[in-house]
Amino acid sequence: MKNGFVKVAAASPVIRVADTVYNAARVIDTIQTANAQGVRVLVFPELTLTGCSCRDLFRHRVLLDGAKEALVRVTEATAGADMLVFVGLPLAVGSRVYSVAAAIHDGTVLALIPGTHAAGTPFSVPAEADTAVEIGGQLTAVVTEGALFTSAVLPELKVAVELGADLDALDSPAAAAAKAGATVIAQMASFPASVTSREEAELQIRFESRRMRSGIVLAAPGKGESTTDRVFSGLCLVAEAGTILSADEKADSFAVSEVDVEYMTNLRRGYEEFDTGNGFSSFDWGIACTETALTRKYRMHPHLPESADKLPAYCERMLDIQVSGLVKRMEYAHLDHCVVGISGGVDSTLAVMVSAMAVKRMGLPTTNVVACTLPCFGTSSRTKSNAIIVAEQIGAEVRVIDIGKAVYQHFDDIGHAHDDYSVAYENAQARERTQVLMDIANKVNGLDVGTEDLSEFIDGWCTYNGDHTSMYDVNMGLTKTQVRANVRYIADTTEDRVLKAALYDVLECPVTPELLPIHDDQIEQKSEEAVGSYSLQDFFTHKMLICGFTPSKTFRLAKIAYANEFTDEELVRWLTSYCRRLFSQQFKRSCLMDGPAVEAFSVSPRDGFLIPSDAECALFLKDLEQISHS
């Protein structure tokens, strides 16, 4: 359960209808299998111990007594197991028969939770609150409608259950439980298989887990059920915040994964609806906090869709957001030109192409895009050539403006030696470029379109009042991996062979600011050697800033995502660099220009991720020390 991970499983063993002795044995076998795998929350379908297709037998004393005896055997079999088990059975309370979920832990029935929607079923809804019932011998339990099962060793793990018809109710018990603080919902289903049942269940579980910011563990009745009128598939699903982590649908289905309840809690912060529910009884469970072995996968590029076939539509969507934002800004300001500084890198390449798309959408010629390449001391012929080729192929007006003479004059004005390659040497070039671009924009009734991306703003890899500044930045909401995906998408889909070749070469070039002198026309100043892999940085951003994880937890997940690509020492080095730069470079983000976000996350000083410009990173670095001591 370290880092908030809890291993959960949904199980649907092949049972026999109305054979409670056999069914108890199958449930016990499954519990033992799950316990051996480290499962801490195990969910069975509704009415597991009898089968959900017993019809009028549910009212018969023989079946009801058999279900109680089966529950006693299952409960005894859990002794010594640090696992919360939900198993279903019919239960008679006076003249009423309920479908209940028995919540069991370490040889004890913590509570019996009845279904609260019984329309179309042979069951009743509870007539009174909290009724104590005898199950067998010395075993008693309370029947209670609303219950939260809170882990004694992981307080963020609060489990609630809903069963049968409750899953489709408009006033779902799960929603009330989530409001009360439940981070995991055990769904004990009873629906049969149909040609669309799996698709519908997956759609619903994804929607509900995202809306409630929770984990959901769903188990549906399996192939041992009666086939008189329906067939049951045994569908088992595990989902977390809109993502299905595990699925199984066969005989003896068993879906297992790890739900991150710390993440669920992080997602809920800032929303007043949670931790406000009333009327829920609380039950504690759990013995020891152990490290959960992770079987779930973490992707290297969490800012891109997991499925490759969804990437084209995703890129089209990102491009439309960029173009729409730029068009609105130009129309509002009554401007008819875009001015873009092109360097031959992926960021400026995307910005100039977005600008061309924007003027086309406005009914203007692409010559209204003024693409300026401003070579100076570190410009290579390769990047300069690519920049010009791309601009020419999209029909932009190309201007080549050598700023070397102006920069040397500036050095003389401020008394800076021409061979002093300190930070002033680099920044003077970036600031000169920005001045030229903005002044050209003023002359042509245009907008200086910024090229810096989200990744560079987070690590501060830009010159304050240089490339840090523009009149509107179309890349402001895209990570470096998203920028590269857009450029590659355009390259893959264009029919212009010259443009295609230039775009692919842009993608092959290392990321570079080109601010230091070069030798033999070779790119020597490489950004990623200073700030680390942008792929890795974007991963850190997703886990630390969007998901709210600690640096040490982010390290753990990066090891999974990147496998053997980085050593532990390299990951710690780049995480340390990321944390330091995240805090030290905030002053650059506190005064950013306008620009469209493409995800729910941004660093806009108006509605994005905000921290004080003089906050300390000491606690983040202290958390990283856990890695070297573990």
pLDDT of residue 95: 86
Question: Is residue 517 over pLDDT 60?
Answer: no
Sequence-ordered alpha helix ranges (H) in 101-240:
173-180, 197-211
- 361-388: per-residue pLDDT in tens? 999 999 999 999 998 776 555 556 888 9
Nearest of 147, 204, 199 to residue 173 by alpha carbon: 147
3-class SS of residue 360: helix
Look at 620 and 134; give whichever has higher pLDDT: 620
Beta bridge partners of 472: 449
pLDDT of residue 190: 93
pLDDT of residue 355: 98
Mean pLDDT of 562-583: 93
- 191-212: per-residue pLDDT in tens? 999 999 999 999 999 999 999 9
Q: Which of 223-227, 286-290, 490-494 has the lowest mean pLDDT?
A: 286-290
Question: Is residue 527 over pLDDT 60?
Answer: no
- Give the class (CATH, top level) of 7-285: alpha beta
Beta bridge partners of 58: none
- Residue 569: both structure tokens together: 């020492």
- Residue 75: both structure tokens together: 């409960």
Question: Is residue 564 over pLDDT 90?
Answer: no
Letter string b/e over residues 583-614, b meaning 16 or more CB atoms within 10 A of that residue's CB:
bbbbebbeebbebbbbeebbbbeeebbeeeee
CATH topology of domain 308-629: Rossmann fold (3.40.50)
The position carrying tokens 């500044």 is 469
Q: Report domain extents, the chain.
A: 7-285, 308-629
3-class SS of residue 602: coil
Measured CA to CA, the distance from residue 171 to residue 165 in angstroms comes to: 11
Q: Mean pLDDT of all residues in the chain?
A: 91
Spell out the long-range contacts of 553-557 with Cβ–Cβ below 8 A and sequence spacing 24 or more.
553/3, 553/4, 553/262, 555/624, 555/627, 556/3, 556/294, 557/298
CA–centroid distance for 249 within its chain: 25
Beta bridge partners of 85: 42, 104
Query: 521 falls in which pLDDT band (50, 70, 90)?
Result: very low
Q: Assign residue 171 a region (left: φ > 0; alpha: ψ between -120 and 50; beta: otherwise).
A: beta
pLDDT of residue 39: 96
